[in-house]
Amino acid sequence: MTKKKTARVIRMSQEDWLARAVELFGRDAADWAFVCPSCGQVQSVRDFERFAGEGATPDSASQECIGRYDGHARSEMLSGDRPCNYVAYGLFNVCPVTVVLPDGRESPRFGFAIPSKKPEKA
Ligand SMILES: [Zn+2]
């Protein structure tokens, strides 16, 4: 068995993370988009608005695969199904980003998606 290279996790402060999001997608947080590290699903904060009644929050897009809300809840992580039921705060952390919160706690996050367009100048 070949030795698998461990993926690098980027650690950043919440302030830097928010600044990076604005830089990539603009000030409207609904446009911020992330990639599920388990299945590759690209999802924006806006995609979760329709699931607010089921407990989705603006943070869901960077921490929960939308499969948990859209009927794919049985699609296990790393099964190849997309979207899946992965969450960043679950048993397995495969997230590429760790955000260090102001109180020192660490919050694993999905990586940012590649923006489809340049954000409008704020
Ligand atoms: Zn997923």
For residue 120, name the pLDDT band (cuts at 50, 70, 90).
low
pLDDT of residue 37: 95
Q: Give me Rg for the CA atoms of the chain.
A: 15
Q: What is the pLDDT of residues 36-50, one digit of tens each?
A: 999 999 999 999 999
pLDDT of residue 6: 63
Q: What is the pLDDT of residues 56-112, one digit of tens each?
A: 999 999 999 999 999 877 777 777 789 999 999 998 899 999 999 999 999 999 999
> How far does the centroid of ligand 1 lie from the alpha carbon of residue 20, in Å?
22
Q: What average pLDDT score do residues 10-17 get?
A: 97
> How far does the centroid of ligand 1 lie from the alpha carbon of residue 75, in Å?
8
pLDDT of residue 95: 96
Burial category of 117 from C-beta neighbours within 10 Å (exposed 0-12, middle 13-18, buried 19 and up) = exposed
Decide: helix, strand or coil at residue 49. helix
* Cα distance between residue 100 and residue 16, in whole Å: 10
Residue 3 has pLDDT above 60, yes or no: no
pTM score of the predicted model: 0.87
> How far does the centroid of ligand 1 lie from the alpha carbon of residue 112, in Å?
14
> How many residues are listed for the chain in this entry?
122
